[in-house]
Amino acid sequence: MRKIVEKSMLGKVWTISDDICKQVDSNDTQALIKSILQSRGVIQDDDIARFLNPSIKEYMPDPFVLRDMDRAVSVISDAICVGDKIAIYGDYDVDGITATAIFVKYLTTLGCDVSWHLPTREGEGYGLNINAIEKIAESGVNLLITVDCGISGVAEVARAKELGLKVVVTDHHSPDVVLPNADAVVNPKRSDDTSGLSFLAGVGVAFLTLVALNRELKNRQFFNEEIKINLLNYMDLVALGTICDTMPLIGLNRAFVSTGLKVMGLRQNLGLKTLMDLAGIKHPSVYAAGFALGPRLNAAGRLDSAGPALELLLTDNPLIANDLANKLHKMNQERIDIQNAIMVDAAEKADYCCKDGKCSLFVCGDNWHGGVMGIIAGRLKDKYNLPTCVATRCDGVINGSGRSIPEVDLGKIIHDALAAGILSEGGGHAAAAGFTLNVDNEQDFCSFLEQAVQKQLNGVCPVPEVYVDAELDASGANMQLVEKLSDLAPFGQCNPEPTLVLHGAVLKYATVMGKGAHLRGVVKTSNGNQLAFVGFNLVGTPVGDFLLDEANTNTKIVMLGKLKENEYNGRVSAQFTLEDMTV
């Protein structure tokens, strides 16, 4: 990698691939796109064509490449054919909710006797719960299918088996050394799984299970003319869960999301359509799914029960859909208010921790609402560029969530702390994790976290680094380039929206907008054109201070950020989202 800027106004290093020439001709958009893809490891021309046109047909594997898939569909098919009662046990986040929804929809269409259970975050916590399993067994259920959970539920699965239940686990979280003794365990992260699909979300694993199940039932000649199922109709929910669980948008996930956004645009799912209308979403996108739909669906599970979110995705009644969508909308606003109040306290504690020069952050408060710990951890992680765990202390127990930087596998640290007996519960993946511990172990966990992070970082805290996709003259930042860059969508983990560095921009003016945290302004480019820009949460930063100082008008600046389409009063134009700068 080559450094473009050693230290920006926000104290970051800007780097770019050595394979990319110093400044791309923005008029040659085809070369620019190829250059970006090559820097991301998409090298061959046929790979580039495949990347730019992702399709389910092109990327879909044989679902039976997943370990235990044959056993899973055999058990489920047997239960369907004899009319057994089936329960789906999911998770309270969007991934778990959507995975539960597609399974319930499929089984309901087949005429099965199916129920579902989503745990409460505060009452039952993440994963399987023995009390819940006992109630499920009492209700007469014969087969329990887990989605987006279950891989760590060794004791819970054992209890289910004691009660006479068949159990099929489908999950994507990292397993412990010992797998649950279920009738089948489908998880691409199993050490003996060779499918290469470890990047799938829980809903992705659930969908592949349905594909395999559908094939098995066809082989058994189960279907008749009255049963009509098109699994592609579930792709809107598969895309939503994949996006909201921040899974890498590569390979099959990219095809899932690309196809799913198109299905979402058809507005076939009444509940999702109602929520989209309420959120003002006209054109589905990764951003809309992740920052408008996801938070509203997540709000229910964060504050109370995720049930209303699942019911919304399952209902065919317009009145019920409208009532549930409005309920989720209000709950999300309540979540925002709670989050903002805790964030002030958490930020103060984080500032204090950083003075010690640590490579990790552990912030804990008394009786903070557990439903927003992950969001606050993410915000602090972004601010300090450190792996961050945020937790609430209540009745002698600490519950928390963590978010990590690319250099640190937080999921491994949580699993190691669990194995060491410091945590009583825990799980997750590299970028995000959840955990529970006794208050007596608080300092031990703080020390364990710091030592483990330092070990992964070789004792050196990383300097915030921004990877740049291309450098170009600001005059090339136009709608033609916006449209060409959109060919790289859908954007997300492992395929982020291109980060550009614009040279030759002259500041004309900048002003505060919104509630005082954001900026907008205009620069003049070398060809005499003007380019509008916005800068979110830049007021009060060195960038904001520089731009708002009238003495800097007509100064040439170097801008880092994203080029986007902006629509205002029916006029569409290019607009730059400024994230950092230098002079």
Nearest to 512 by CA among 487, 536, 486: 536
Supply 46's token pair.
Answer: 């046929």
Spatial separation of the C-alpha atoms in residues 338 and 375, rounded to whole Å: 11
pLDDT band at residue 356 under the 50/70/90 scheme: confident
Q: Which of 14-23, 79-88, 564-573 has the highest mean pLDDT?
A: 79-88
pLDDT digits (tens, 9 = 90+) for 363-421: 999 999 988 999 899 989 988 889 999 999 999 999 999 999 989 999 999 999 999 99
Distance (Å, whole) CA 299 – CA 307:
11
Does residue 129 have a pLDDT over 70?
yes
Structure tokens at 280: 């003002």
Backbone angles phi, psi at 118, to 5 degrees: -115, 125
Kindly indicate the confidence band of residue 43, based on its pLDDT and cuts at 50, 70 and 90.
Answer: low
Which amino acid, 306? A
Residue 31: band (very low, low, confident or very high) from pLDDT cuts 50, 70, 90: confident
> In the predicted model, is pLDDT for residue 20 greater than 70?
no
Per-residue pLDDT for 567 more than 90? no
The secondary element (H helix, E strand) that includes residue 504 is strand 500-513
Instruction: Kindly report the pTM of this predicted structure.
Output: 0.84
Amino acid 101: pLDDT = 98
Q: Which residues of 185-209 are buried (b: 16+ CB within 10 A; e: fewer)?
A: bbbbbbeebebebebbbbbbbbbbb
Tell me the mean pLDDT in the region 103-131. 92
Question: How does pLDDT run across 159-178, given as a tens digit for each residue?
Answer: 999 999 999 999 999 898 89
**pLDDT reported for residue 516:** 77
For 8-12, the CB contacts below 8 A with 24+ separation are 8/466, 8/560, 8/580, 8/581, 8/582, 9/541, 9/542, 9/543, 9/546, 9/580, 9/581, 9/582, 10/464, 10/541, 10/542, 10/543, 10/580, 11/463, 11/464, 12/463, 12/464, 12/465, 12/466, 12/580
The torsion angles phi and psi of 172, rounded to 5 degrees, stand at -135, 5
How many Cβ atoms are within 10 Å of 527's Cβ, its own excluded?
Answer: 11
- Please tell me the predicted confidence (pLDDT) of residue 288: 93
Pairing between β-strand 571-582 and β-strand 556-568 as defined by DSSP bridges: antiparallel
In this predicted structure, the answer to whether residue 362 has a pLDDT above a threshold of 60 is: yes
Look-up of token digits 């602090």: 380
| Between residues 362 and 459, the one the model is more confident about | 362
Give the integer Cα–Cα distance in Å for 302 and 485.
35
Q: Helices 307-314 and 318-354, interaxial angle, to 10°? A: 140
Residue boundaries of the structural domains of the chain: 2-46+465-582, 60-231, 356-456
pLDDT band, residue 33 (cuts 50/70/90)? confident
**Band of the pLDDT at 23, cuts 50, 70, 90?**
low
Q: Confidence class of residue 568 from pLDDT cuts 50, 70 and 90?
A: confident
Q: What's the CA gap between 301 and 370, in Å, rounded? A: 10
Whole-number pLDDT of residue 26:
57
pLDDT of residue 8: 95
Residue 233 has pLDDT above 60, yes or no: yes
Residue 22 pLDDT level (bands cut at 50, 70, 90): low
Q: What is the CATH number of domain 2-46+465-582?
A: 2.40.50.460
Average pLDDT, the chain: 92
Q: Which CATH class is domain 356-456?
A: alpha beta
Strand order in the sheet with 166-170: 113-117, 85-89, 143-147, 166-170, 184-186
- Average pLDDT (121-149) is 92
Higher pLDDT among residues 35 and 520, named by residue? 520
- Least confident range from 60-69, 77-86, 244-253: namely 244-253
- Distance between CA atoms of residues 245 and 224, nearest Å: 36
| Residue-level pLDDT at 399 | 93
Residue 192 is predicted with a pLDDT of: 96
Q: How confident is the model at residue 60 (pLDDT cuts 50, 70, 90)?
A: very high
Fold observed for domain 60-231: inorganic pyrophosphatase (n-terminal core) (3.90.1640)
Q: Which residues contact 41 (CB under 8 A, 6 or more apart)?
A: none
Total residue length of the chain: 583
In this prediction, residue 88 has a pLDDT band, given cuts at 50, 70 and 90, of: very high
Q: Does the structure show a pLDDT above 80 at 456?
A: yes
Burial class (CB in 10 A: 0-12, 13-18, 19+), 123: exposed
The pLDDT value given to residue 154: 96
Query: 264-320, pLDDT tens digit by residue?
Result: 999 999 999 999 999 999 989 998 999 999 999 999 888 888 999 999 999 999 999
Cα–Cα distance measured from residue 114 to residue 556, given in angstroms and rounded to the nearest whole number = 64
Residue that the structure tokens 């992740």 belong to: 290
Q: What residues contact residue 409 under an 8 Å CB cut-off, 6+ apart?
A: 430, 456
pLDDT at 460 over 60: yes
Contact by Cβ (8 Å): 469, 500: yes
Interval 364-377: pLDDT, tens? 999 999 889 998 99
- Write the secondary structure of 225-284 as one string of H (helix), E (strand) and C (coil): CCCCCCHHHHHHHHHHHHHHCCCECCHHHHHHHHHHHHHHHCCCCHHHHHHHHHHCCCCC
Q: Which of the two residues, 583 and 45, has the higher pLDDT score? A: 583
Quote the pLDDT of residue 19: 65
What is the model's pLDDT at position 522? 97
Range from 238-247, 453-462, 498-507 carrying the lowest mean pLDDT: 453-462
Q: What is the pLDDT of residue 514?
A: 75
